[in-house]
Amino acid sequence: MSFLQDPSFFTMGMWSIGAGALGAAALALLLANTDVFLSTSQKATLEYLEDIDLKTLEKEPRTFKAKELWEKNGAVIMAVRRPGCFLCREEAADLSSLKPKLDELGVPLYAVVKEQIRTEVQDFQPYFKGEIFLDEKKRFYGPQRRKMMFMGFVRLGVWYNFFRARNGGFSGNLEGEGFILGGVFVVGSGKQGILLEHREKEFGDKVNPVSVLEAARKIQPQTSAAESK
């Protein structure tokens, strides 16, 4: 058992443990930056979206079915992860930059939030140029609700998104629930269906505005559809 008295034996043992720990950490970091552990999404059907109950944000709120938003002219709808998040504000501003072109197409721009905390929605409004509604049951964030927890903070893509939004001059706060991931929908009029469905896969995973506009151009307003028959 003389080797137990050899200092080099303990040094090698400690080195091996440290190397193993570093290797495990490196592997965990690598896996965290792949899609292996990301929440899988389930595409929504038109019927699912149509049946969602939304509320207006007035003093006396009105509850209505979501299909009212797109029934006549279609709609672009942002499901906001958290109004106070500077990444969500960045995406809202991107979508709002499309507003003049959407107005030309006659396609409205809307957003839904999952909670109304103090002045969070009001503070979000300068970044978003459309009406905002409350989805208390969080159904626009389904059918299979997805979350990103603290793993998001070790993803390189998330840090890239952080720096991009910060460099763009966006700021925010930590108010409200921010782990349930959001998305963007472009829905055609009537029964035309879902023309684009973007599911946020990580914090700051924005929809491509060009794709939104391309989908919006495919919308056939109910009046036009009726006239063409």
The model's pLDDT over 91-130, given as tens digits with 9 standing for 90+, comes to 999 999 999 999 999 999 999 999 999 999 999 999 999 9
CA 135, CA 81: separation in Å to the nearest integer?
12
85 as an active site residue: the answer is: yes
Tell me the pLDDT tens digit for each residue of 170-192: 999 999 999 999 999 999 999 99
Instruction: Find all residues with CB under 8 Å of 13, minimum gap 6, and list them.
Output: none
pTM: 0.82
Catalytic residue among 49, 54, 78, 85: 85
With 70 as the cut, is the pLDDT of residue 72 above it? yes
Q: Which of 44, 75, 79, 88 is catalytic?
A: 88
Better-predicted residue by pLDDT, 139 or 6: 139
Q: pLDDT at position 18, please?
A: 52
Which residue has better confidence, 190 or 1? 190
Helix axes 156-167, 86-96, angle to 10 degrees: 60
119 Cβ contact partners less than 8 Å away, ≥ 6 residues apart: none
pLDDT at 200: 93
pLDDT score at 164: 95
**What strand order describes the sheet that includes 53-55?**
63-65, 53-55, 131-134, 109-113, 75-79, 183-187, 194-199
Q: Which of 184, 156, 179, 220 minimizes the C-alpha distance to 94?
A: 184
The percent of residues above 70 in pLDDT, for the chain, comes to 79
Query: Is residue 88 among the annotated active site residues?
Result: yes
Q: 24 or 149, which is more confident? A: 149
The CB density around residue 143, as the number of other CB atoms within 10 Å, is 12
CA distance 216 to 229: 21
Quick check: 44 and 52 in contact, CB under 8 A? no
Phi-psi map region of 74: left, alpha, beta (phi>0 left; psi -120 to 50 alpha) = left
CB 206 within 8 A of CB 95: no
Asked whether the beta carbons of 94 and 75 are under 8 A apart, the reply is no
What would the mean pLDDT of 7-13 be, rounded to a whole number?
51
Q: How far apart are CA 188 and CA 46, in angstroms?
A: 10
What share of the chain has pLDDT > 90, as a percent?
A: 69
